[in-house]
Structure 1
Amino acid sequence: MKDVFQKFAGWFSAREPGANDVVLKPGDIIIQHKDRKGWCAVKILAIDPFDGHSPTAHCLTYDYTPQEPTLVTVSGLAVKVWHAPISAGAFEHDWKHIGNQKVSPDELGGFVEYLKLTDFPRYIEFTGQDVEQVINRANAHYHEALILHDQGKAAAAIPQYEKAIDVFPLFFEAIDNRAFALMELGLFDRALSGFRESLHVNPDGMAAFFSKGECLLRLGSLREAEQVFAAGLLKFPEHSEIFQNFLDEVRGLKN
């Protein structure tokens, strides 16, 4: 994390063109008084480059306090949210800049995790990792999971799938297989969440799309299952037979 912090330290002291001389840079502490709630303090962790819209400020927020924070006292406040992406334009009015404190490695952790889950290529660049090494680590866990899964050890395979996903959050094959293992264990609600996660990463995943409908069917959510299978007929016409079969099953159960 120390190396990540050093790489981050010079990033984006950005200014939003057209703003009322609002300049935000990493380490800035800004405060605002909220009626009844007291004082709100925010620390800027990073600011995205200007792309024609109000840039996103990545912030750490502190708990409200009745006393006006100072640069000395703010470090003693409890952290409310370790990372919150907020439009930089939201800080144009009624905010007071009280100084700048270097962003610590611990404070940076939330932002790095955010990049990992939302912008993996930028996360790799930002952390200075070798993408091939990262993928190889993920694949090692994935293949270990496959061996266990093939041996009928679904419960033991799940943690290995999760390790693969933790290393590489875009690994939708691992996300799918973890969900299939959960289905084998009868944990259809958790499997459903997994297939939804997979479709967020890979919207055209037929297996995840169909299995989402199957989980809904097993959970008794017939109306939602019907909608999924009906949509699958149009989205995946090459697999229309299996979608039609399950659509007929759901409609038979509804009658």
Structure 2
Amino acid sequence: MLKKITRLFTLVFSVIGISTTSASGMPDKNENLMLKTGDILIQSGVDGWSAVKILEVDLWPDGTSVAHCLTYKELPVRPTIELLKQAPVLVWHAPIDAGSFGQGWERISNQSPTKAELVGFTEYLKITDFSRYASFTGQDVKEIISAANEHYKRAYALGEHRKSMEAISEYSQAIELFPLFYEAIDNRAFTYMELGKLKEALADFEQSLQVNPGGVAAFFSKGECLMKLGELKAAEEIFFEGTNRFPEQREIFVDFLEKVRTLQKSG
């Protein structure tokens, strides 16, 4: 897991164009800044200046200290607080290894993050740690889930009356409130399938499986969408995997595996 995290941090820095090396070209492990929420850090690079604002600092179970950062687009001149107030944001939230802020980084101020600046971090929490998200935003988890359920019930009733687009809207509101609501994601996907919107349905089934990897209906339906979209090789892989992944449903996966192989042979 730690290796995966390290690769993630390296990728994040690479994407946002921030250097993780000291002047000697090697990571500096001895002069790391002790980061605090609200720190504004700058660094001079070959083509300009990088700037980040620390939104929160976490200690992960493996001992890695993680800085949740808002990063600005590279600037041609040394950033100041006044300049950064007008500077465009590059990434609203990026989790970065706090140990990467070593030699070459300078703290120029500390200002509590505003609600607008925290939008990326709160969306991250909403998906990764819903209880913390609710606490961080001053909401009650039970109330959020209750509201999401009301939208779900209305969506289901609308679907029963063939009001598909209205149902999709209600499912979307339920998911927006509670992104882990995979039942709502699945039902929205099935509604998209009924409308022939297979790409939208496929995206939803993939989202559902991220939340609930054991969802057999979402997994099978992902394969069905791929088959109907003509992506036969990808569909074959899904149905084949399903025969082993869901042995209790092996028969239906085998059936569709044979169908998609027949379609491949027929061209």
Matched, 1:76 2:86: yes
Distance 1:222 1:43 in 2: 46
Distance 2:138 2:193 in 1: 37
Which aligned pairs between 1:3-18 and structure 2 lie closer than 5 A? none
Distance 1:203 1:52 in 2: 24
Distance 1:19 1:192, change over 3 A: farther
More off after superposition, 133-142 vs 230-239: 230-239
* 8 Å contact from structure 1 (residues 62, 78) kept in 2: yes
Q: Alpha-carbon deviation of 1:108?
A: 1.6
Distance 1:208 1:116 in 2: 22
Report the residue type matching 1:35 in the other structure: V
* 8 Å contact from structure 1 (residues 19, 89) kept in 2: no
SS where residue 250 of structure 1 aligns? helix
The one of 215, 221, 242 equivalent to 1:232 is: 242
Distance 2:31 2:73 in 1: 27
Give 2:10's aligned residue: none
Report the residue type matching 1:79 in the other structure: V
Give 2:33's aligned residue: 22
SS where residue 253 of structure 1 aligns? helix
Distance 1:79 1:58 in 2: 14
Matched, 1:43 2:53: yes
Report the residue type matching 2:127 in the other structure: L
Give 2:145's aligned residue: 135
Normalising by structure 2, we get a TM-score of 0.85
Q: Alpha-carbon deviation of 1:30?
A: 0.6
Give 1:147's aligned residue: 157
Distance 2:30 2:161 in 1: 61
Q: Alpha-carbon deviation of 1:130?
A: 1.7
Matched, 1:164 2:174: yes
Which aligned pairs between 1:1-255 and structure 2 lie closer than 5 A? 20-36=31-47, 38-49=48-59, 51-255=61-265
Give 2:20's aligned residue: none
Report the residue type matching 2:52 in the other structure: V
Gaps of 5+ in 2: 1-28
Report the residue type matching 1:113 in the other structure: E
SS where residue 116 of structure 2 aligns? helix
Normalising by structure 1, we get a TM-score of 0.88
Give 1:11's aligned residue: none
C-alpha deviations, 1:222-247, integer Å up to 9, x for none? 11111111111111121122111111
More off after superposition, 214-223 vs 105-114: 105-114
Distance 1:213 1:21, change over 3 A: closer
Aligned length: 237
Distance 2:223 2:98 in 1: 40
Report the residue type matching 2:197 in the other structure: L
Q: Alpha-carbon deviation of 1:19?
A: 5.6
Give 2:3's aligned residue: none
RMSD (CA atoms): 1.5
Distance 1:72 1:129 in 2: 33
Q: Alpha-carbon deviation of 1:82?
A: 1.8
Give 1:10's aligned residue: none
Report the residue type matching 1:33 in the other structure: S
Distance 1:208 1:107, change over 3 A: same
Q: Alpha-carbon deviation of 1:98?
A: 1.1
SS where residue 81 of structure 2 aligns? coil
SS where residue 107 of structure 1 aligns? coil
Distance 2:107 2:255 in 1: 63
Distance 1:236 1:26 in 2: 45
Runs (4+) of structure 1 exceeding 4 A deviation are none
